Amino acid sequence: AQTVTQSQPEMSVQEAETVTLSCTYDTSESNYYLFWYKQPPSRQMILVIRQEAYKQQNATENRFSVNFQKAAKSFSLKISDSQLGDTAMYFCAFMKHVNGAARQLTFGSGTQLTVLP
């Protein structure tokens, strides 16, 4: 079984600053996907960024980037130029490699990020 740990229940950052959210995971799988999801007050789950474990290059989506350390089983999210709209709960999630049937996500407990004006 996989486990995902987010050790920062709450974080805050000043608008326009950079913040990093931490995530560690435990798995015996060699092929898997890692994700960061954003959940604003509307409750909608929004995919922020995805990383395939077989790719060494860290994923980037505009202001969002990850630091994927496979050996250390670490997957942090960096948000640059933070905006008020980034205020949300952020979840780290794991999915083992697609085998035609399994699509289960395992989530961490979340980090509540508040961007301060």
Q: Which residues are near other proteins by CB under 8 A?
A: 4, 6, 9, 33, 42-45, 47, 50, 52, 91, 98-101, 103-110
Nearer to other proteins (CB atom), residue 64 or residue 107: 107
Nearer to other proteins (CB atom), residue 2 or residue 20: 2
Q: Which residues 6+ apart lie within 8 Å of 66 measured at CB? A: 34, 36, 49, 51, 58, 59, 60, 75, 76, 77, 78
For residue 76, the minimal CB distance to other proteins (Å) is: 17
- The pair of structure tokens assigned to 74 is 């670490």
For residue 35, the minimal CB distance to other proteins (Å) is: 9
For residue 77, the minimal CB distance to other proteins (Å) is: 15
Distance CA 40, CA 48 (A): 12
Nearer to other proteins (CB atom), residue 34 or residue 115: 34
CA 79 to chain centre: 11
Nearer to other proteins (CB atom), residue 19 or residue 48: 48
Distance CA 71, CA 73 (A): 5
